[in-house]
Structure 1
C-alpha cells in the first residue's frame, strides 16, 4: 500500500524589492524571525535595488518575472516625489500587480514606530538625530543605516504595528499625508502569520 501525500497548498514565491539597504536589512530580519518558526516556510527574495518610485516598480516587475515570483512588493519612501509622482507609482504598481510598501517622509518613520507612536512629521535630519540618541540606537544612525536591525527591533514588531494603526486613523492617504506608512498592513500576508 502506498502513502498518499497531502494536498498542501503551495505557498507563492515572494519578491520584496527595496529602495535601499536599510529596508532590505529590515525585511531580512523579519524573514529570519517569521520563517524560523514557520515549518512550511516559503521562498522570499529580498533585494536592495538602489532605485525608487516608477523605476523601482518597473525593475521589480522584470526581476519578479525572471525569478518566478507571484507576489511582488516594493519598498520606498517619498524622497522628493510630488503628489502626481506618487499617484503615477500607484497606477503603475496596480497595472503590474505589485504592492507598494510606502513611508513618508522616509523609512525611518516606520523604524521610529517600533519605539513610540508617531503623529507629526519630521524632516530626515530630525529622524536621524532622534534615532541616534541613547533611547533608540545609541549611535550615529546615519552610519548605522544598512546594518542589522535585529538587536534593536526584533521583538518590537507588534508595537510598531499598533503605533502604525494609530497613525492610520488620522493619516491614511499615501499621496499627501506626512507622516504616513502602510508597511504594517502587509506584514502578516507576506510572512503568513496571524500575530506579529
Structure 2
C-alpha cells in the first residue's frame, strides 16, 4: 500500500515589485514581521514609466512562477493617460497596482496621522524629518529600515488610509491617494496589523 500524501495547501508565492528602496524596505519589514517566506520583494527600477514597471512585473511573475504579482509605485511624472494604459495592461495580466499620490511617503505619513490634504514631495520630506516622526533628515533616511519607527503602527496607517479612501478613491485623479491598505490583508493573510 502506498503512502498517503499530506494535501495541505502551501501559501501562494507572491511578488511585490517596487519602484524604489523605501517601498522595498517597507514591504520587507512586513514580510519579516509576519514571518512569510512566500513573499518576494524586489526593486524593479526607479524612474521607469508605470507601463514599463507593469511590463517588468509581468516578466518577473512568469519567470519566477508567481501566483500573484503586485506593483508599487507613485505618481511621479506619470500622465493620466499613461496611468490608464498602465491599469489596462495590469488588468490584462492579473497584476495589482498599489499606488500612492503624490509619493509613497504619503502612506508612511499615515502611520502617524490622518492625511486630508495634498503635500508636495518636499513638504512630505520636511514633515517626516520632524522629531515627532523620524527625527532626522528623511531624504537621507529613505531606503533604510522602518522597523524602529513604524513597526507597530501599521494598523494606524490602514485606518487612516481607509478614512481617506472613503473620500478619495480615484487613483488617477485624486491627491492625496493611496490604496495600499486594500491589498495588505490579501498579501499578508490577516485583517489586523
List per-residue Cα deviations over 1:54-92 (Å, max 9, x = no partner): 111001111111111120000000001121111111111
2:31–2:37 contact (8 Å) kept in structure 1? no
Instruction: Measure the CA separation in 2 of the matches of 1:2 and 1:174.
Output: 54
Q: Is 1:72 aligned with 2:79?
A: no
Instruction: Measure the CA separation in 1 of the matches of 2:18 and 2:126.
Output: 23
Instruction: Measure the CA separation in 1 of the matches of 2:188 and 2:176.
Output: 25
2:99–2:179 contact (8 Å) kept in structure 1? yes
Please list every run of 5 or more consecutive structure 1 residues that lacks an aligned counterpart in the other structure: 36-40
Q: Is 1:15 aligned with 2:10?
A: no
Please list every run of 5 or more consecutive structure 2 residues that lacks an aligned counterpart in the other structure: none
Q: CA offset at residue 194 of structure 1?
A: 2.8
Number of equivalences: 191
- Of residues 123, 135, 140, the one that matches 2:137 is 140
Q: Which residue of 2 aligns with 1:38?
A: none
Instruction: Measure the CA separation in 1 of the matches of 2:135 and 2:49.
Output: 29
- Of residues 24, 44, 49, the one that matches 1:49 is 44
For the aligned residues, what is the CA RMSD? Answer: 1.4
Structure 2 counterpart SS, 1:17: strand
Q: Which residue of 1 aligns with 2:93?
A: 96
Q: Which residue of 1 aligns with 2:172?
A: 175
TM-score (norm 2): 0.95
List per-residue Cα deviations over 1:91-128 (Å, max 9, x = no partner): 11001110000000000000000000001000000000
TM-score (norm 1): 0.93
Q: Which residue of 1 aligns with 2:183?
A: 186
